[in-house]
Amino acid sequence: MEQNSLKIFKISSILFVISFLIASILFFIPKAGNLSQTDYYVAIQKAQKSNSPILITLYSKWDRKQKISNQILFTDKNLLEQINKRLITVILNLDDDKDKQLIDQFGLKPAYSLLCDKNGKPITYIPNGTSSTEYSIFLNEALKLPFFSWDNLEQAINQSKQNNKNIVIFTTSNLNANLSLAELLKAPANLQYIDINFNPVLFNLQYKPDFAQARQILGFDDNILNIHGQGPSNNSPINAFQSDQLIKATIISPNKTVIAQGTFDEELFQNGNMQGFIEKILTKEVNRVK
């Protein structure tokens, strides 16, 4: 009687071996949804030309959960249409050494996509998950952030020479601080005040080029650099969003002279009055000079 059990065991074992072998072969077929792939540096050139943000996602043939997430998200027709219309997409391959350097530089994690401005500066992250509807909602909200239309420092200086406005640099300690800053700028009066009176620039301290420029403008021993400026190699944007946030506003002239500066305080977060804050730090500076 036991022979029947062994027969079932043998048949099941054969089926196991066959399905395991076919699945193993399929495992190595590259799959990452239908997102179009652009080299990161080419993407920056394209983005600057078309004034489009850059979306960076990861891919690894070894990580099935991530492959599944990419497959679900980036085969959704509506989401793909939305992405292709508004963004330049970069897929960084975790199995590629060249891409790995960029991944380390950005501190990218498979669970997130990173949204960068046209210059490649990380602005915010989007949790990947397995729901294209959720991803689409997050993406839509993220693209409403004002930073995507802001220039980098060099562009802002050129602009400043033409329109005679000073430059306001918002230095943020991490990606979460970007979101807090965006929340303050959500009030139309605040954004309008900034746009009318200044050429705004965002410095994200977790982004290497911004970190270097912030050190030049603010000085090596500036408080925000000392507290949160360990640099992108040690403190990734994704990790750093959980730590304390610090935002600093620095007003500079077109020749990079610092006119006034101040760190965002509790009062500003409570009353949300950006104009009041900027005027306060400007008055403080005038009084200090007197």
Partner 1 sequence: MDNIITLTSFDLKRFWTIKRLIIMGIFALITIAVSFIPSSLNIPKSSTQVNFDVILASGLSFVVPVLVLLFTGGIISNDIRTFYYRTILSRPVSKEEYLCSKYLFSFINLFLGTILFAIVPSFIGITSLPVEINFNFGTSLLVYLLYLLEGVLFISISMSLSTILKGSFNIFVLIIWIFLETTLINGLLSNFVSFSKPLAIFSDFFFPAGFSEAAKLLNTSSVLLFESILWGFAALTFWFALSFYQITKIKIDANMD
Binding stretches for partner 1 (CB under 8 A):
1-2, 4-6, 8-10, 12-13, 15-16, 19-20, 22-23, 26-27, 29, 31, 58, 60, 62-68, 71-72, 75, 94, 109-111, 130-131, 238
CA distance 264 to 280: 11
How many other β-carbons are positioned within 10 Å of the β-carbon of residue 73? Answer: 26
CA distance 139 to 124: 10
Angle of helix 175-185 relative to helix 188-197, nearest 10 degrees, comes to 100
- Asked if residues 234 and 205 have their Cβ atoms less than 8 Å apart, the reply is no
Q: Which is nearer to partner 1, 4 or 270 (CB)?
A: 4
Q: Which is nearer to partner 1, 33 or 254 (CB)?
A: 33
CA distance 153 to 158: 9
Q: Which is nearer to partner 1, 104 or 265 (CB)?
A: 104
Q: Which is nearer to partner 1, 95 or 267 (CB)?
A: 95
How many other β-carbons are positioned within 10 Å of the β-carbon of residue 98? Answer: 10
Give 68-133 as a DSSP string: HHHHHHTT-HHHHHHHHHH-EEEEEETT-HHHHHHHHHHT--TTEEEEE-TTS-EEEEEE--S-HH
Q: Which is nearer to partner 1, 1 or 196 (CB)?
A: 1
CA distance 104 to 232: 8
Query: Smallest distance from the beta carbon of 156 to partner 1, in angstroms?
Result: 35
Q: Which is nearer to partner 1, 13 or 271 (CB)?
A: 13
| Run of H or E including 142 | helix 132-142
Give, rounded to a whole angstrom, the gap between the first and last alpha carbons of the chain. Answer: 104
Q: Which is nearer to partner 1, 80 or 278 (CB)?
A: 80
Query: Smallest distance from the beta carbon of 238 to partner 1, in angstroms?
Result: 8
**Residue 6 three-state SS:** helix
Q: Which is nearer to partner 1, 72 or 179 (CB)?
A: 72
Please choose, from the candidates 116, 110, 111, 112, the residue with its C-alpha nearest in 3D space to the C-alpha of residue 40: 116
Query: Smallest distance from the beta carbon of 11 to partner 1, in angstroms?
Result: 8
**Residue 26 three-state SS:** helix
Query: Smallest distance from the beta carbon of 111 to partner 1, in angstroms?
Result: 5
Query: Smallest distance from the beta carbon of 40 to partner 1, in angstroms?
Result: 18
Query: Smallest distance from the beta carbon of 235 to partner 1, in angstroms?
Result: 15
Query: Smallest distance from the beta carbon of 24 to partner 1, in angstroms?
Result: 9
Query: Smallest distance from the beta carbon of 174 to partner 1, in angstroms?
Result: 16
